[in-house]
Chain A
Amino acid sequence: MKKRKCFLLAVVLLLMLAFVFAPVANAAENDTLNFRLMFNCSTVSPYLHFNDADWWWQAGVFEPLVWLNDANGTFEPMIAKEWSVSDDGLVYTFKLRDDVYFHNGEKLKASDCVFSYNLAKQAPTLTTFTSPYDKAEAVDDTTFKVHLKEPYYPFLHHSSMIKIVSEKAVSEQGADFGTKVALAGTGPYYMTEYNPAVKVAVKAFDKYYLGKAPIENVNYIVMVDDSSAVIAFERGEIDIIQVPSTYWADISKSDKYGSKITPRHELYYLIVNMNSPEQNKILANKDIRQAIGYCVDKQAIVDVVKEGLAIPYDQFMDPAITAGGPESTIKYEYNLDKARESLKKAGYPDGVNVGTLMSFSPSEYVKMAQIIQASCAEVGIKFEIEQMEVAAGLTEMRAGKTSMSFCASTFLLDYDYIGRYFHTRNDATHFVKYKGSDLIDWKTIDNKFDDGTRAKDPAQRKKIYSEAERIIMDSGTYFPIMMTSFGMAWQKDLSVDTSKWGAFFMFSPYDWAWKK
């Protein structure tokens, strides 16, 4: 009896062991690519709120009329094969391809574009892109016209952010659109599974107008933790990954993987609030603000915080690829002697306490704050570092309650885009309130951003925006720190065409294939 019990127990244990140690199915099946997402997804709709994760997977599913290739700042055809703008700058006409199908099998018509633009106009997330838009019209099935309220030359940039969806597919889903699998896009992949906290699965679309994608299935897998994501990548469970900066040096040097650094157009900057009431409004003194600007050791921040996945930056946008982007005339290099001079000029040669620097709680911001605090201390500028969660911190910043803070923003490649950070029409959400202040020539800034959108000639636009940037930089309220990059790595058995990279979040798996 006892022996039989022992035997049964042994069998059960063996079965359990066999079950537990059964070979783990290789996630990277031959026809399936696994792509890591750093955040939970938030929506299927390209018009609702979105985060980086949504951008990544939607790149292969939804397409705009034209694609902004930010590797060189030019536009390339997508759903629209050609386009033109009327002489008065009020009407944009798009000639559409006649071989574009939605994932539900319906052929794309200009009326779908009208539907999409009207849908985008209602979306709070797209207000910036749709604000100049008045109405749209379908001239015929392949001709789509957009009428603007006034001439607005950055419009093509904006239209590259508006994805086209199937009127039929979206209408059928009604209010549920955005929350479940939708066959509403025209991209090379269609959705098969949507679980925002776990994964989004897509499959190659047979009727894609440029031909079927070489990789049959793509899984976008949510893995929030960087360390475990890198382990999954090293194990081969993930095929392509945006490498966390701390791991970049090791992974990029390894001959087991392919890798490339590609621009992200994400600028980190220091904000100094000239209206802060702290320390008897000490930051109203421009020389003190500028002294702080000279204390920002950008290279040290790049080295410590981003470990090479960024470059020190002196202006808001890259003039080489930004429409209307001027070369900045005022720059704040790290120079403690200049900082001391500015302090002396401000009347505080022995140093001054400027209050508090609010840092978001993620460690990279805290490190940045500590680096600046250390160099400021060398010239006698003192401040405390206060940490806050991002949501709470942003609210305090928007309320103008912080003295100094950081932020990071991704800019669309037209200089008009940064107008929303400085034009006083959006003053209520600005971190430094310019409107009504006698510390800055805010009226000229407003006028320049207004004029810039109406100027057709690119050189003229650069000139106009140059003056706006000069005033902002001189004010010592915003100090660009660094422009970040994506460090992408992939398994060696994957052939990745990187020629289109540098594109604005345009990592579509369409251009990738498994090596034979």
Chain B
Amino acid sequence: MIRYVVKRVILIIPILLGVSFLVFAILSFTPGDPASTILGNGATEEAIKQLNHELGYDLPFLQRYVIYITDIVTKFDFGFSYRTRLPIANELVSRLPISLKLASLSIILACLIGIPVGIMTAVKQYTMFDTVPTITALIFAAFPTFWLGMLLLYAFSLKLGIFPSYGASTWVHFVLPVIGLGLPEAATMMRFTRSSMLETVRQDYIRTARSKGAPERSVIWKHALKNALIPIVTIIGVDFAALMGDACATEVLYSLPGLCTMIINGIRQKDVPSVMGATLLLTAFCSLVVLLVDIVYAFIDPRIKAKYSGSRG
């Protein structure tokens, strides 16, 4: 098991290198340079050249890339923002907790709503307890995040005055963003849980459990759910990682300074180090979450655990 984990962790390195090269190349080869963006449309050529030189942007693409990667590997230095001249590492450290908080609370909310409702709809298939939640889930899944976020802001912040409209200083500030991001996710989770459960309850071992006279509650919670959970855990992990990078509209709407807004601003302002830093962090994070999901598999599925144990010998 440990060998497997180490192997997977090592595999993250080429992934990071590949992503970093791709993003660096895209940013470098699209038209525009940071100095032109920073200095505006009336800038002189000398000023543009001088600023690009100060920022190190006048070096050849490959040289800039090698310097960038070498600095990260040898000094853990992600460079500094072309726009604010602040170290990227500091900005990542201050923004990561906000993105983490937003994504993790949203996924918790999605699980709390989506999984139980999904189970209920599967168990009560073709009844009112299935139809109503399924239609509701379809509606929520179709809501664009920004639209739902705006609606929540209008209702709970402006009209009811319950929640603040911006900021990230307290937990209260996260309530609306988490609902806005978590509800559509809950809808997806519910639908996935439903289909996973439906598939499981049709398996032979469930029929066997029922024929042996096991109570229905036991059949559902002990036999069916445990098996249905395996693909759900995958979805939770993958969606959690995706939410980290998918929260752009929510972050902008609620003025949450997370990683997504760092990437968006960086792209607009040709701030290569900002985009690179945030992208690399998200990539590393996604890879680790996927790895974690695989490890969790081993704990919830004895067959997988046995396979790992077997391969050790």
Which among B38, B42, B261, B262 is the interface contact of A128 at CB below 8 angstroms? Answer: B42
User: Does the CB pair A391–B269 fall under 8 Å?
Assistant: yes
User: Does the CB pair B36–A394 fall under 8 Å?
Assistant: yes
Residues of B within 8 A of A197 (CB): 91, 95, 257, 261-262, 265
Segment at the interface with B among A1-9, A105-113, A217-225: A217-225
- Complex interface residues of chain B between 92 and 108 (CB less than 8 A to chain A): 94-95
Segment at the interface with B among A82-90, A232-240, A288-296: A232-240
User: Does the CB pair A43–B84 fall under 8 Å?
Assistant: yes
- Per-residue CB contact flags for chain B residues 40-73 toward chain A (1 = under 8 Å, else 0) read 1111111110110010000000000000000000
User: Does the CB pair B32–A395 fall under 8 Å?
Assistant: yes
Cα distance, A428 to B48, chains bound together (Å): 10
- Complex interface residues of chain B between 245 and 267 (CB less than 8 A to chain A): 252-255, 257, 261-262, 265, 267
User: Does the CB pair A394–B46 fall under 8 Å?
Assistant: no
- Per-residue CB contact flags for chain B residues 149-189 toward chain A (1 = under 8 Å, else 0) read 01001100110011111101001100100000000000000
Residues of B within 8 A of A235 (CB): 157-158, 161, 165
User: Assuming A124-B39, A125-B39, A227-B150, is B165 touching A237 (CB within 8 A)?
Assistant: yes
User: Which chain B residue lies CB-closest to A408?
Assistant: B41
User: Which chain A residue lies CB-closest to B174?
Assistant: A20
A228 within 8 A of B: yes
User: Assuming A391-B269, A421-B42, is B37 touching A429 (CB within 8 A)?
Assistant: no
User: Does the CB pair A179–B84 fall under 8 Å?
Assistant: yes
Segment at the interface with B among A21-29, A363-371, A372-380, A448-456: A21-29
User: Which chain B residue lies CB-closest to A122?
Assistant: B50
User: Assuming A24-B163, A391-B32, A391-B270, is B255 touching A223 (CB within 8 A)?
Assistant: yes
User: Does the CB pair B85–A178 fall under 8 Å?
Assistant: yes
A20, A42, A425 — most chain B CB neighbours (10 Å): A42
What distance in Å separates the Cβ of A198 from its nearest Cβ neighbour in chain B? Answer: 5
User: Does the CB pair A392–B31 fall under 8 Å?
Assistant: yes
Which among B41, B83, B150, B257 is the interface contact of A49 at CB below 8 angstroms? Answer: B83
Q: How large is the interface on B (under 10, 10 to 19, 20 to 34, 35 or more residues)?
A: 35 or more
Residues of B within 8 A of A389 (CB): 32, 267-268
What distance in Å separates the Cβ of B171 from its nearest Cβ neighbour in chain A? Answer: 7
B232 within 8 A of A: no
B86 within 8 A of A: yes
B294 within 8 A of A: no
Residues of A within 8 A of B268 (CB): 389-391
What distance in Å separates the Cβ of B209 from its nearest Cβ neighbour in chain A? Answer: 26
Residues of A within 8 A of B211 (CB): none
User: Assuming A24-B172, A228-B166, A389-B268, is B41 touching A409 (CB within 8 A)?
Assistant: yes
User: Assuming A20-B175, A394-B36, is B41 touching A48 (CB within 8 A)?
Assistant: no
Residues of B within 8 A of A409 (CB): 40-42
What distance in Å separates the Cβ of A257 from its nearest Cβ neighbour in chain B? Answer: 15
User: Which chain B residue lies CB-closest to A361?
Assistant: B268
What distance in Å separates the Cβ of B89 from its nearest Cβ neighbour in chain A? Answer: 13
What distance in Å separates the Cβ of B250 from its nearest Cβ neighbour in chain A? Answer: 10
Which among B35, B83, B267 is the interface contact of A124 at CB below 8 angstroms? Answer: B35
Cα distance, A51 to B207, chains bound together (Å): 68
Residues of B within 8 A of A179 (CB): 84-86
User: Does the CB pair B45–A426 fall under 8 Å?
Assistant: yes
User: Which chain B residue lies CB-closest to A233?
Assistant: B165
User: Does the CB pair B51–A24 fall under 8 Å?
Assistant: no
What distance in Å separates the Cβ of B195 from its nearest Cβ neighbour in chain A? Answer: 30
User: Does the CB pair A49–B38 fall under 8 Å?
Assistant: yes
Cα distance, A178 to B30, chains bound together (Å): 29
- Per-residue CB contact flags for chain A residues 198-236 toward chain B (1 = under 8 Å, else 0) read 100000000000000000000001111101110110110
Residues of B within 8 A of A228 (CB): 150, 153, 165-166, 253-255
B33 within 8 A of A: yes
User: Which chain B residue lies CB-closest to A21?
Assistant: B162
- Per-residue CB contact flags for chain A residues 463-483 toward chain B (1 = under 8 Å, else 0) read 000000000000000000000
Residues of B within 8 A of A234 (CB): 158
- Complex interface residues of chain A between 421 and 450 (CB less than 8 A to chain B): 421, 425-426, 428-429, 431
Residues of A in contact with B (beta carbons under 8 Å apart): 19-22, 24, 27, 40-43, 48-49, 124-125, 127-128, 178-179, 195-198, 221-225, 227-229, 231-232, 234-235, 237, 388-396, 398, 407, 409, 420-421, 425-426, 428-429, 431
- Contact sample, A vs B, 9 pairs, CB 8 Å cutoff: A124-B46, A127-B44, A222-B255, A222-B257, A391-B32, A391-B37, A391-B269, A429-B48, A431-B41
Instruction: Name the 6 nearest CB pairs between A and B, nearest first.
Output: A391-B32, A428-B45, A124-B47, A49-B38, A197-B257, A395-B31
